[in-house]
Amino acid sequence: MTSKKLPFTKNKTKEIIKEYPTPFHIYNEKGIRDTARRLYRSFSWAPGFKNYFAVKANPNPYILKILAEVGMGTDCSSLPELILAEKVGIKGENIMFTSNDTPAAEFKKAKELGAIINLDDITHIPFLEEAAGIPEIICFRYNPGSLRKHKGNVIIGKPEEAKYGLTKNQLFEAYKIMGEKGVKRFGLHTMVVSNELDNDALVETAEMLFDLVVEISRKLGIKFEFINLGGGVGIPYKPEQKAPDLEYISKKIQKLYEQKIEKNGLAPIRLVMECGRAITGPHGYLVTKVIHEKHIYKEYIGVDACMANLMRPALYGAYHHITVLGKESKSKTHIYDVTGSLCENNDKFAIDRKLPKIDIGDILVIHDTGAHGFAMGFNYNGKLRSAELLLLPNGKVKQIRRAETVNDYFATLDFLGL
């Protein structure tokens, strides 16, 4: 089994903890930049390639700013996410608005910002028209249902059972209606995988969209401006897993682009993505301290973080690797459940995990929390959200979100004048 490396040492972590008490998430800026650049390098052949970072994966202005500097836009799906992008200075068609079950006010804001609106349903055409008017450019989200060869996975489910997108027949109708309303700029989107590690599944998604673009363009005589492959590129949460091979995926997609888009005279069509997890996920760490050990029918290690800081293990049974700082080379002689303090028995970061002997005061680093980690946090049981820190390329650490206080937690309450 290969190990997972950390961008900081035990001593460095101890220094950080002196200033910022545990628990906290810390993100490695250099890692994020390198990964972002690598994605762009892999797809440098693709006309106008752009990744719209899925804001929900890590909604922090510093992170969005770093990604904007590398050339990324944002993929937003709510009003606060749109405002966040706006505040960071990301505007216009650098914002993709991929929402579902969308309130009118959110369409209105997206249109005001000049974002590319990606509609999730055919009935959203009149809804959007009423809420904000018809935009100059429009995208639709495709749900292939059972037409998709490669089946979905535990996070996103099978396409035919997923709530997202339009059916194939509806798509033809939807572009036709938009054409009649005077729209001339079109995009097509799908997102049928999540945390996908299979290279060919991602290639298949591109192939499916290319075929569809050919079919729709021919039938309706419309010109597509971009194809949005969605997000869903996976990361190796387990040390023995392998990251998807972006260069391989890109090469295969390039071949398909030549065969299907260029040969049919449809080029250039911009290729875009909405990756969140693959960009920031591997570069975030939840740092937490062991405050209790408990020996009953099983061995428990109690830490000062809980599932309010990282919900994925409880929500999906997801694996997150754990390093006991300073004990990296010790043999894994013990089997523990690593728990948080929530009054819910699924508040566990690991179940039956083989780890070195752990002592109270040890610092645990929970890996791969840079996407869908802090962002999924909540206040149940009166749990407060942690701070977020950024490890800068020069080795310094910057707090990019302070920890919540009880006053934050009480801010929306009315104590009846007490």
For the bound state, the minimum distance from the C-beta of residue 156 to ligand PLP, rounded and expressed in Å, comes to 8
Can you say whether residue 195 is alpha, beta or left, with left for phi > 0 and alpha for psi between -120 and 50 degrees?
Answer: left
Q: Which lies closer to ligand PLP via its Cβ, residue 166 or residue 371?
A: 371
Give the residue with the Cβ less far from ligand PLP, 242 or 294.
242
From 85, 191, 212, 391, residue interacting with ligand PLP (rule: CB under 6 A): 191
Among 64, 119, 371, 375, binds ligand PLP (CB under 6 A): 371
Choose one: 216-224, 259-267, 276-284, 376-384; the region binding ligand PLP (CB under 6 A). Answer: 276-284
Q: Which residue stretch of 34-42, 229-237, 247-255, 360-368 sits at the interface with ligand PLP (rule: CB under 6 A)?
A: 229-237
Residue 29 is labelled as binding a ligand: no
* Beta-sheet strands, E only, within 145-238: 185-190, 224-228
Q: How far is the CB of 82 from ligand PLP (least distance, A)?
A: 14
Among 23, 276, 373, 377, binds ligand PLP (CB under 6 A): 276
Distance between CA 364 and CA 200 in Å, rounded? 35
54 near ligand PLP, rule: CB under 6 A: yes
3-state class (DSSP) for residue 136: coil
Going by the DSSP 8-state scheme, the letter that residue 31 receives in this structure is: H
Q: Is 232 annotated as a binding residue?
A: yes
Structure tokens at 343: 């009054």
CB of 72 to ligand PLP, least distance (A): 12
Work out which of 35, 190, 194, 250 binds ligand PLP, going by CB under 6 A: 194
Strand stretches in 251-318, DSSP E:
270-273, 284-295, 299-303
Among 98, 143, 199, 386, binds ligand PLP (CB under 6 A): 98
Contact between 370 and ligand PLP (CB under 6 A)? no
Q: Could you please report the per-residue DSSP string of 64-117? A: HHHHHHTT-EEEE-SHHHHHHHHHHT--GGGEEEE-SS--HHHHHHHHHHTPEE
CA 71 to chain centre: 17
**Active site residues per annotation:** 343
Q: Give the residue with the Cβ less far from ligand PLP, 97 or 210.
A: 97
Confirm if 369 and 389 have CB atoms less than 8 A apart.
Answer: no
Which residue number, 163 or 298, has a Cβ lying nearer to ligand PLP?
Answer: 163
CA angle at residue 59 from 55 to 60, to 5 degrees? 135
Give me the least distance between CB of 57 and ligand PLP, in Å please.
4
Q: Number of C-alpha atoms within 13 angstroms, CB side, residue 379?
A: 12
- Which residue from 73, 230, 313, 373 is in contact with ligand PLP, where contact means CB under 6 A? 230
Query: Which residue, 13 or 98, has its beta carbon nearer to ligand PLP?
Result: 98
Angle made by CA atoms 31, 35, 37, in degrees to the nearest 5: 120
Interface residue with ligand PLP among 271, 275, 286, 311 (CB under 6 A) is 275
Residue 143 and residue 124: Cα distance in Å, rounded? 15
Residue count, binding to ligand PLP (CB under 6 A): 18
Site for ligand PLP (CB under 6 A): which residue of 277, 283, 312, 385?
277
User: Between residue 303 and residue 322, which ones bind ligand PLP under the rule CB under 6 A?
Assistant: none
Task: State the Cα–Cα distance between residues 314 and 302, nearest whole angstrom.
Answer: 15
Q: 67: which residues sit within 8 A by CB, 6+ positions away? A: 32, 36, 53, 74, 279
275 is in an annotated binding site: yes
> Any binding-site annotation on 277?
yes
Helix (H, G, I), strand (E, B) or coil at 399: strand
We find the least distance from the C-beta atom of residue 54 to ligand PLP, in angstroms, to be 3
401 three-class SS: strand
Taking the C-alpha atoms of residue 359 and residue 401, their distance in angstroms, rounded to an integer, is 30
Interface residues with ligand PLP (CB under 6 A)?
54, 56-57, 75, 98, 191, 194-195, 230-233, 274-278, 371
Output the known binding site.
232, 274-277, 312, 316, 344
Output the known binding site for substrate.
277, 312, 316, 344
